[in-house]
Structure 1
Amino acid sequence: MQYRSFLPLSRRFLLRALLGAAAAPAPFAALAGFNFFTSEYTATREELQAQIAKRFPVQQRYAEIFTVGLRDPQLGLDARANRAAITAVLSIASPLLRPSTVEGVVSVSSALKYDAPARALRLDQPKAERLELQGVTGRDAERLQQIGAVVAQELLRDQPLRTFTAEELTVGRKTYEIGDITVQQDGIKVALL
């Protein structure tokens, strides 16, 4: 006698798919960092780095005399302080400078916030922690470092690290909101509410 299931074919298929998924986690890898079972999303460092790189280079004028630019950003994550950092190549150009462009490196650390209307995880109140310029010393270096720090902070203020689509935050009839933000060593985890 042959065993026959009394479950309809669609339910048997669904049951097999769910049981098979438990044995092979690969299908869930397609869901990126969303874990609706634990109500959280984790953005990896690589994902965040790719998103940041798309928004650079950036530049801004300062006092109608200087043009400050940032390029080649690198993301850093500080789990202990729950902060993200961006280190970038900084350039300051002005006809008053000899040579007319000075380059260096700036590191800016920042808390994080969620902007609900834009569905974006953003830098919040970035602060220049380190700024080094090449080929400039003395009072000129101090002034240029102050200008570079102020403009770098302004350029990075509210910079999005990750923007979510409405579809990503919707499962069935439930639309999730972003809650607590936790910086980890290799990514940023957000609670889904």
Structure 2
Amino acid sequence: MIHFNRRRWMAATLTAAAAGLAVWLGGCAGIGSDYTFSQAQLQAALERKFPFNKRYMELFDIQLAHPQLLLDPQRNRVSVQFDATVDNRLFFNQPLKGRFALDSGLRYDQPTRSLVLQDPQVQQFDVAGLPGQFSRQLNALGAILAEQLLQGYPLYTFKPEQLRLAGTEVEPGTITVLPNGINVKINRP
């Protein structure tokens, strides 16, 4: 009789364990199906990638520093504002400082595993003390910065383990800008 109860107890225990495992695995299926990054997480990731220094046409040295990320959920876009420094020893006695801002969509770049800027557009490029004859060149420089140098610039780089689900590699899909972060859906294989 004791032997029979022990079997019944073992069967009940295994059944309960199997049910619990099924519930747990079912719950895990939703884990990793999307990522939501807070604005603070994205801001911290962006700050690690700056200052950004670039020489343009062997004439201008440009530095963008102190990025500030703003989210625009209505348009599903982001804005990034920077402190800008423009230096040209031929034309200026000292580096000029100002503000540079751009507006951009986002896309996933598979080779770098990064969420990158897509089609950035200049919203503002103001430099204090810039002589009037250089304002047109500065506007052209801002457009080139946005379209050529910052196109595809990484906002966030995924860790390899973030793109593995149950031992299978997955890729980000739909990217949605939220009021307080960015949501990235994961395409399941």
Where on the TM-score scale, by shorter chain, does this alignment land: which range? 0.7 to 0.9
TM-score of the two chains, using structure 1 as the length reference:
0.78
**Are residue 117 (structure 1) and residue 123 (structure 2) matched?**
no
Match of 1:139 in 2: 133
Residue correspondence of structure 1 range 22-171 to structure 2 within 5 A: 36=30, 39-171=33-165
Flag the 1:120–1:98 CA change in 2: closer, same or farther, 3 A: closer
Tell me which residue corresponds to 1:11: 17
Looking at structure 1, the residues matched to 46 and 119 of structure 2 have their Cα atoms a distance apart, in angstroms, of 17
Structure 1: which amino acid aligns with 2:173?
G
Range moving further from structure 2, 182-191 or 134-143: 134-143
Q: How many residues get paired? A: 174
Say which structure is richer in helix: 2
Separation of aligned partners in 2, 1:152 and 1:173: 38
1: CA distance, partners of 2:140 / 2:119: 17
CA contact (8 A) 2:101 2:123 kept: yes
Confirm or deny: 8 A CA contact 1:70 1:152 kept in the other structure: no
Q: Report if aligned partners of 2:114, 2:156 keep a CA contact under 8 Å in 1.
A: yes
Identity of aligned residues (%): 31
Displacement of 1:38 after TM fit? 8.4
Hey, what's the Cα distance between the residues in 1 that align with 2:92 and 2:186? 52
User: How big is the shift at 1:37?
Assistant: 5.1
- Give ranges in structure 1 of 5+ residues lacking alignment: 23-27, 29-34
What is residue 32 of structure 1 aligned with on the other side?
none
Aligned-partner Cα distance in 2 for 1:38–1:54: 25
The letter for the 2-side match of 1:161 is L
- Following superposition, the deviation at residue 127 of structure 1 comes to 1.1
Q: Which amino acid aligns with 1:107?
A: A
RMSD after superposition: 2.7
The 1-side partners of 2:91 and 2:146 are apart by 19
Distance 1:91 1:148, change over 3 A: farther
Unaligned runs of 5+ in 2: 1-8
- Tell me by how many angstroms 1:152 deviates: 4.5
* Structure ID, larger Rg: 2
Distance 1:176 1:119 in 2: 11
Q: CA deviation at 1:80?
A: 0.9
SS in 1 for 2:13: coil
- The structure 1 segments of at least 4 consecutive aligned residues displaced by more than 3 Å after TM superposition are 152-155
Q: Deviations over 1:64-122 (max 9, x none)?
A: 11111101111111111111111001111011233321110010111111112322111
